[in-house]
Amino acid sequence: MRGACFAVAVVAALHGTVLLAPAVVAEGGVVVSPGDADGLFGPPSIDLGAVTGGTASRPGRPGSAHPGGGVGSGVPGPPLGLSWSSGDGVPEWFTAIPEFRFPDFGDPAAPPSPGALAGQAVEQLQLPLPTPAHSPDVALPDGRAATVVGEHTWFWTERARWVPVSRRVQSGAVWAEVTATPTRLSVDPGNGQGLVSCPGPGTPYTREAGLHAPSPDCDLVYQRSSAGAPGEQVRAQWAITWQVTWRGFDGVAPVGGVLPEMTSRAGVDLAVVEAQALTTG
């Protein structure tokens, strides 16, 4: 019933009628609107629904299947911007009218802290993946990549990806910038021999190094072949560890700090074979 009072008041406002006092709800569901001196709006009734004054009507409800409730039955449509309710015939808001919300007169929300912005920047940071490379890099007849048991296997990753990566997020005068810097390369050979930790991206193999020479900074000697493993291969993993720092401004002074390390990984399937199993062209 409270919604009905509000709807009648809105209808009066749309037609230029000034309401001198709030609508009064009487017993029996009849709405009386003080100030309706011209009789433009009659109270809703069970048989007629809410109808504008001076218009001939027939029994029935607008929007119902009862006689007099259909289109062309003499029952006028709702005023502009309003629609009939499907239940008790009381006008209700139509979806074309935007929802009214009281303005928020409270204090504006405080800007996010630089630390919170740094957290957002970390989530948006896109770290380059390592590009796995190794030597010996033997192509088997079936197309599998392989290295050799008992030989020094060199590991490295593409140097072009070994560069700092940054991301900045700002809100008004407050900002934070996160920088991830690569610090070491780790290789899991995939056969349980343990991680190989390298202080940089590793050194690509060249013929000048010699046939059996170890890598100067990222090397492993496989002790057994991958025979009997799934697919006759091991799954080797290259991982770059990134040191993460941030700096920013809180609107008054510079701030900054250190964040937990991050890691980007990539892997390859690698066959580890005996030297006598290799074929030469």
Q: What is the pLDDT of residues 116-131, one digit of tens each?
A: 999 999 999 999 999 9
Pairing of strands 219-221, 234-249: unpaired
Cβ pair 190, 234 in contact under 8 A:
yes
Query: 156 is in which domain, residue-wise?
Result: 114-277
The predicted pLDDT at position 111 comes to 80
Whole-angstrom distance, CA of residue 167 vs CA of residue 179: 7
Establish if 108 belongs to a structural domain: no
Establish if 107 belongs to a structural domain: no
Whole-angstrom distance, CA of residue 139 vs CA of residue 51: 89
The predicted pLDDT at position 104 comes to 59
Cβ pair 75, 81 in contact under 8 A:
no
- Do 162 and 122 share a structural domain? yes
- Do 161 and 91 share a structural domain? no
The predicted pLDDT at position 16 comes to 42
- Do 125 and 75 share a structural domain? no
Establish if 216 belongs to a structural domain: yes
CB count, 10 Å around CB of 270? 24
- Do 139 and 85 share a structural domain? no
- Do 190 and 225 share a structural domain? yes
Q: Where are the alpha helices (DSSP H) in the chain?
A: 2-14, 114-124
Whole-angstrom distance, CA of residue 182 vs CA of residue 118: 19
- Do 122 and 23 share a structural domain? no
Regions of the chain short of the pLDDT cut 70 = 1-108, 276-281
At 233-276, the pLDDT tens digits run 999 999 999 999 999 999 999 999 999 999 999 999 999 999 76
pTM equals: 0.60
Pairing of strands 145-148, 254-273: parallel
**Hey, is 260 helix, strand or coil?**
strand
Using the 3D structure, point to which of 70, 102, 134 is the last residue of a domain: 102
Using the 3D structure, point to which of 48, 73, 102 is the last residue of a domain: 102
Establish if 138 belongs to a structural domain: yes
Q: Phi then psi for 81, rounded to 5 degrees? A: 90, -5
Cis peptide before 136 (omega within 30 of 0): yes
